[in-house]
Amino acid sequence: MESIILEIRAGAGGDEAALFAQDLFSMYKKFAEKSGWQIKVLRQSLTGIQGLKEAVLEIKGEKVFSKLQQESGIHRVQRVPKTEKIGRIHTSTASVAVLPKTESTAEVELNSWDLQWQTSRGGGPGGQNVNKVETAVILTHKPTGIVVHCREERSQLANKEKALKALREKLFDAASKSQKDEMDQERREQVGNAERSEKIRTYNFPQNRITDHRIGKSWHDLERILDGDLKPVIKAFEKAKNAK
């Protein structure tokens, strides 16, 4: 089972961009539900006009990354905004980023050959046993050079267990930062500056048409697709990609 982080953000176009971002949020949520995937909204920022500034979702399910990875990029909408009295067609954008999510590393695997242990007398308060027996430990993780000191407990075993726990936390923090840096870089590569010229797909309401500019194909059933029926779009993209 795969897991992804799906990020949607309003781009160029002010209020209309936020309303379009909300449409995309609803589309992907409905598609995920129809696909039987698990959805969790991690972050959501709304505007006063029922629009969406930003949404971050975690989606888990079979082939979720392979099905949605092509959704990354700038999505463009062309329509008459609800707030527009004159009836002019506006062009706005929203960005979508699809990032693979690795499993939690809370249970960090430690290899014994990567660990270097040193012991010493505890010292300080705690009675004669702490002062005379080598209960304190220094744990070094050789691949990363992370060092953990532990002397608070009265037995060497208890200090070793505490040191291992502290080392796992430090390694988890380091891995999380590395993963975040990689995701930030991948996000920048996927969505660019959210400009209209960087579009991968256009949603044209007056013509009831969705066009994927990467494969040069259009569908004239916009409302149905926005209601979560993304299968035809995804299948067409996969077919075009495999034909190359």
Winning range, highest mean pLDDT, from 24-28, 139-143, 233-237: 24-28
Contact 81, 99 (CB under 8 A): no
CA 115 to centroid of chain Cα atoms: 32
Task: Compute the distance between CA of residue 67 and CA of residue 138 in angstroms, rounded to an integer.
Answer: 48
| pLDDT(105) > 60 | no
All domains of the chain in start order, with CATH: 2-104+191-243 (3.30.70.1660), 112-178 (3.30.160.20)
Winning range, highest mean pLDDT, from 11-20, 49-58, 139-148, 222-231: 222-231
pLDDT band per the 50, 70, 90 thresholds, residue 22? very high
CA–CA distances in Å: residue 155 to residues 43, 159, 166, 169: 44, 6, 17, 22
Query: What is the token pair recorded at 101?
Result: 């999510």
- Please give the backbone phi and psi of residue 186, each rounded to the nearest 5 degrees, phi first: -65, -35
To which H or E segment does residue 91 belong?
strand 90-100
Question: What average pLDDT does this structure show over 105-110?
Answer: 61
Task: Compute the distance between CA of residue 135 and CA of residue 151 in angstroms, rounded to an integer.
Answer: 7
* Predicted confidence (pLDDT) per residue in 131-167, tens digit: 556 788 898 988 888 888 888 777 888 888 888 888 8
To which H or E segment does residue 41 belong?
strand 38-46
Query: What is the token pair recorded at 29?
Result: 């949520």
